[in-house]
């Protein structure tokens, strides 16, 4: 009561009842314990008068549930993740959960630290977009539910993410439909990230099915941001080619970004002399002129599915539930860079 904090026993005292009575009235747990209307009223009044709010810390200690869900993300600055956080916050709020976030900045060590920290804080579940495997085992050993997003891990954690093979295929189909035949592709040079391979595989088989030709492929450094070196590689490739392809595909948003800055340098206007299409959306895509057509991730759905998986694990309690993988369908953002020819 002093120090600004009103506790349950203050309420009990003022209402002239026992603290357990207050608790049960407030939680409406009347199954085994009925209370007279008079008592209930007394309690309610005392609560209002004192402006009582239960301490979630104490409740958590007693119940073992904190109603906190943790999100460990690899790059909080990336719009994909902030949008993800936006949707998650909205959805889980309806269920009374609150979101704790942290940012690993792609650093596996920080990832582990953060995971340990979140577990110590007693989160009821974790959503992780992993930068490597470090720390994930900690979650597995605890029995805190976990859903991995964005990048699948070879270990069998529950996962929600894009159907990358399908994304590649969709690009191939769209290219064909819009009458592009000779296709160039730019992709990051990373063996580890199977996501990329899947996209490429989908694209390749798709192109073959559609009777298109993969004219060339350029690999660029697997950095998170567009860079001079990548840029150079693409320009060189284009200069060396005798004739340009009909269209260029960016396997990731960074690739696509590099493509457009290269074309700018060569004074080629995408959407006119040649088409450009990317996998994964990015802010600039709708801003540059002409705007860039991409297949993107349905972020809201990913958020919904992740939360649903998490909630199921929380409710069914044990992680005896077998791990589930949810692949979501990519969505087209049709803009100006891939007109019908």
| CB 15 to DNA: min, Å | 8
How do 331-333 and 293-296 pair as beta strands?
antiparallel
**Partner that binds at residue 8, options DNA, a copy of itself, none, CB closer than 5 to 8 Å by kind:** DNA
With vertex at residue 162, the alpha carbon angle to CA 341 and CA 72, rounded to the nearest 5 degrees, is 135
Residue 80: partners with Cβ closer than 8 Å, 6 or more residues away: 150, 280, 297, 299
Rounded to 10 deg, the angle between the 37-50 and 8-15 helix axes is 130
Interface characters, 102-141, with a copy of itself (x: CB under 8 A): xx-x----------xxxxxxx------------------x
| CB 197 to a copy of itself: min, Å | 29
| Residue linked to tokens 């009582």 | 52
The partner residues of 214 in beta bridges, in order of sequence, read: 183
Question: Taking the alpha carbons of 89, 95, 101, 104 in that order, is the dihedral positive or negative?
Answer: negative
| CB 81 to a copy of itself: min, Å | 8
48 near a copy of itself (CB under 8 A): no
**Partner that binds at residue 307, options DNA, a copy of itself, none, CB closer than 5 to 8 Å by kind:** none
Strands (E), 74-153: 98-103, 125-128, 146-149
**Partner that binds at residue 122, options DNA, a copy of itself, none, CB closer than 5 to 8 Å by kind:** a copy of itself
State which of positions 173-212 bind a copy of itself (CB under 8 A).
none
| Residue linked to tokens 């943790």 | 70
Complex with DNA: residue 31 or 228, whichever CB lies closer = 31
**Partner that binds at residue 9, options DNA, a copy of itself, none, CB closer than 5 to 8 Å by kind:** DNA
CA-wise closest residue to 303 among 278, 326, 272, 270: 326
**What is the binding site for DNA (CB under 7 A)?**
5, 7-9, 16-21, 23-24, 26-27, 29, 32-36, 38-39, 52-55, 57-59, 61-64
Complex with a copy of itself: residue 33 or 49, whichever CB lies closer = 49
CA 254 – CA 227 distance, rounded (Å): 9
Which residue ranges make up the site for a copy of itself (CB under 8 A)?
3-5, 51, 53-58, 60-61, 66, 68, 76-77, 79, 81-83, 85-86, 89-90, 93, 98-103, 105, 116-122, 141-143, 264, 283-284, 287-289
């Amino acid at each position: 009561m002093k120090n600004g904090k009103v506790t349950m026993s203050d309420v009990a005292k003022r209402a002239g009842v026992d603290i357990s009575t207050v608790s049960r009235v407030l939680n409406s747990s009347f199954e085994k314990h009925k209370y007279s209307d008079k008592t209930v009223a007394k309690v309610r009044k005392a609560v209002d008068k004192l402006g009582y709010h239960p301490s979630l810390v104490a409740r958590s200690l007693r119940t073992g549930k904190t109603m906190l869900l943790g999100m460990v993300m690899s790059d909080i600055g990336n719009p994909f993740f902030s949008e993800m956080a936006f949707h998650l916050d909205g959805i889980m709020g309806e269920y009374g959960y609150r979101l704790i976030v942290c940012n690993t900045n792609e650093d596996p060590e920080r990832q582990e630290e953060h995971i340990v920290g979140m577990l110590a804080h007693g989160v009821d579940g974790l959503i992780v977009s992993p930068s490597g495997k470090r720390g994930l085992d900690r979650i597995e050993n605890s029995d805190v539910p976990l859903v991995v997003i964005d990048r699948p891990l070879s270990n069998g954690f529950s996962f929600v993410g894009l159907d990358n093979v399908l994304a590649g295929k969709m690009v191939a189909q769209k290219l064909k439909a819009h009458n592009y035949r000779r296709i160039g592709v730019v992709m990051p040079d990373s063996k580890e990230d199977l996501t990329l391979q899947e996209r490429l595989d989908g694209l390749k088989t798709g192109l073959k099915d559609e009777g298109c030709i993969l004219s060339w492929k350029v690999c660029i450094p697997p950095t998170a941001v567009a860079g001079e070196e990548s840029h150079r590689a693409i320009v060189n490739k284009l200069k060396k080619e005798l004739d340009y392809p009909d269209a260029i595909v960016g396997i990731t948003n960074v690739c696509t970004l590099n493509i457009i800055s290269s074309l700018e340098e060569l004074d080629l206007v995408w959407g006119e002399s040649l088409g450009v299409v990317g996998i994964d959306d990015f802010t600039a895509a709708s801003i540059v002129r002409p705007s860039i057509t991409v297949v993107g991730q349905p972020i809201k759905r990913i958020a919904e599915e992740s939360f649903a998986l998490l909630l199921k694990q929380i409710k069914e309690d044990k992680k005896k539930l077998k791990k589930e993988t949810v692949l979501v369908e990519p969505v087209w953002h049709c803009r100006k860079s891939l007109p019908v020819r």
